[in-house]
Every structure is written in C-alpha cells, then in structure tokens.
Amino acid sequence: MATFIASITVGGVLLWIEYNYFIPLYTLTTQAAISSSLKNNNLKSEKFFRDDLKNGKIGPEMAVIPAGHFQMGDSSGARWEQPVHTVSINKFAIGRYEITFAEYEQFALATGHELPTDEGWGRGKRPIINITWQNAVTYANWLSEQTGQKYRLPTEAEWEYVARATTNTKYWWGDKIGYNQGNCDGCGSEWDNKKTAIVGSFAANYFGLYDTVGNVYEWTCSEYEEIYNGKEQHCLKSNKNDSLMVIRGGSWYSLPNYTRSSSRFKSKSSDLTIGFRIAREYNKPPDNRPNIQVYPIKPRLYNYSRKFQNEH
C-alpha cells in the first residue's frame, strides 16, 4: 500500500512539473519558431507577393489564401454569430497587414484625398484609423487602377476564414486569450486600451497574417444583417443607402471576447478604432491540388502565462 501511495504521489508531482514548466516552455519556443519561420518567408514565392504600381512604388504585401471550406459562426456566441453554417471560399489574396498610414498616404497624395488624423499616436507603420467605408473602397479602386488587378475589401466570410486560419477555436492559437498575443483591452500588451500598435507587432497566424486579433476593427465589403442569411458571402456593390457594414477583428479598445474570430459588429461611420485590410482576386493559373481540408490537427500555441490564463 505504501508503495502504491508513493507511486501516485510521484506521478502527481511529475504531472504538475510537466504542466507548469515543460508545456509552457514548449509552447513558447514553438510559437517563437513558427513566428520566425513565417516572417522569414521568401516574398517572391507564390505564397506572398506585392504588385508593382504605375507610380514606380509597390503595393501592400499580400498572402495567397488557398480555397477551402469552414464552419462560420459560433453556436455558443451571440445570436448575431449564428446560425453556424458551412461556407466555401475560393482562392484569393489578402493583405498580410492592416493598411498603414504610410500606404494610405501614397494614395492620398496621388489623388488629393484628405489624410485622416492619427490621434497623435504616430503614422508610418501604424494602421490607418478614422477611415470611412467609402474611403477604404476608394483606396482599393485606386490600387486596382495602379496595378491592373482587382482589389477590394474582403467579404465577411473571407475575413473569418483567414482569421481562423484552419482552426476552429476562439482565437487562431486556442480558446484562451493568453498574454501579449494581440492588442486589446485585456490582451496583455503595452498598447492595451491606449492606442494602436505598429502592424506586425505580434505573431502571424497559420496563413501568415498579422493583427487579426485586435489592434483595429477592419471594414469588410459585406452589408450587415442581424442573422446570417447570405450577405456575409458577398460584397455590397454600392452603399448609396448608407447601409450598416460589417467590421471584424476587434480593436485596441475591445475586450478579448470581442476579438474572437467569430465576433462581428456593424458601423456606418469612421472612428479611431476602425481601419481595414485589403483583398485581391487571384488571377494566376490554379494549381492541381484539391481544396484544403480546413481544421487539420495542429499544436495549440499559447503565449503562456499562468497569471493571464483565465478568460477575461
């Protein structure tokens, strides 16, 4: 009996050590390795690219997103995140980063459009803010004219697809917000509930995209409807009626629950929490591989901190 009790005690101690030291160490080093490998990708490959502009400059850095299907929405989320339904996505490209002040400034200077205020937080590589939906669409049209390609805002369904990045958890790294994985009110970053962060300040997801959790809300091209009924898969051709448009991703001001992949909101005006990410039709010859199966088994990657492991 004494031997049995001793074995149970030793086993318990070893399990405690594993969960408190080895798993956190493994996940932290694995996160760093994957983040580093994504950042070091060859941008001339098919996966990432930038289009040349007529003015001699280059456009935003884009990621090629493979076709696939996924379960959109959250059965345990708000009623406007339902019903959960299967959506198929065609191959397309989307910006790896939110559009920055520096990128938008090229457009503003070339077209005479007014440059929005940065609230005193700085411009350069910070995401553009105080931008209307129509301003974002006009920027996309300018990119189309400059490149000969079809740029636009992503549909709401495309946005959730790339934010999930082959996962079905609340955030692309798991179900806990963790610590210092994004910029929101409770994310554990130095910018939380204060201001925007420079784009790319956190690890990229499995598609190589940055800042899909917090920093700024992102305009989509889809008109908002309270319950999913198909508009999430289409772009509104024109917004003459001043419709409410979908914004996604949460912001530096949002609580973690509002930065989940399935979380959705609506707006018709600009403010200091809203920016955008650009999408583009992908015109290269399709490859012969079948559509990817979404939700392959992947390691759970938490930027681990016992202090912040409870959901906010």
In a domain, 264, yes or no: yes
Q: Give residues with Cβ within 8 angstroms of 279, minimum separation 6.
A: 92, 93, 94, 95, 151, 152, 153, 154, 158
The per-residue pLDDT of the chain, averaged, comes to 83
Count the helix, strand and coil residues of the chain and give each as a percent rounded to the nearest 5.
30, 15, 55
pLDDT digits (tens, 9 = 90+) for 105-139: 999 999 999 999 999 999 999 999 999 999 999 99
pTM for the whole thing? 0.79
In a domain, 269, yes or no: yes
Domain count within the chain: 1
What is the domain range of residue 84?
41-308
Give CA–CA dist 117/128, Å, rounded: 9
Give CA–CA dist 278/181, Å, rounded: 22
| pLDDT exceeds cutoff 70 at 49 | yes
Q: Which of 15-29, 148-162, 219-233 bottoms out in mean pLDDT, i.e. has the lowest?
A: 15-29
Q: Is 105 helix (H, G, I), strand (E, B) or coil?
A: helix
In a domain, 8, yes or no: no
- Sheet of 245-248, strand order: 264-267, 245-248, 217-223, 274-276
| pLDDT exceeds cutoff 70 at 262 | yes
Q: How confident is the model at residue 238 (pLDDT cuts 50, 70, 90)?
A: confident
pLDDT score, position 239: 83
| pLDDT exceeds cutoff 90 at 292 | no
| pLDDT exceeds cutoff 50 at 266 | yes
Q: How confident is the model at residue 286 (pLDDT cuts 50, 70, 90)?
A: very low
CATH number at residue 69: 3.90.1580.10
| pLDDT exceeds cutoff 60 at 31 | no
In a domain, 103, yes or no: yes
In a domain, 249, yes or no: yes
What is the arithmetic mean of pLDDT over 273-299?
Answer: 62
In a domain, 88, yes or no: yes
More confident residue, 218 or 8: 218
In a domain, 25, yes or no: no
User: Phi/psi at 143 (nearest 5 deg)?
Assistant: -60, -40
In a domain, 247, yes or no: yes
CA angle 52, 56, 57 (to 5 degrees): 65
Encoded tokens for 261: 């992949």
Instruction: Give the start-end residues of each E strand in 134-215.
Output: 151-152
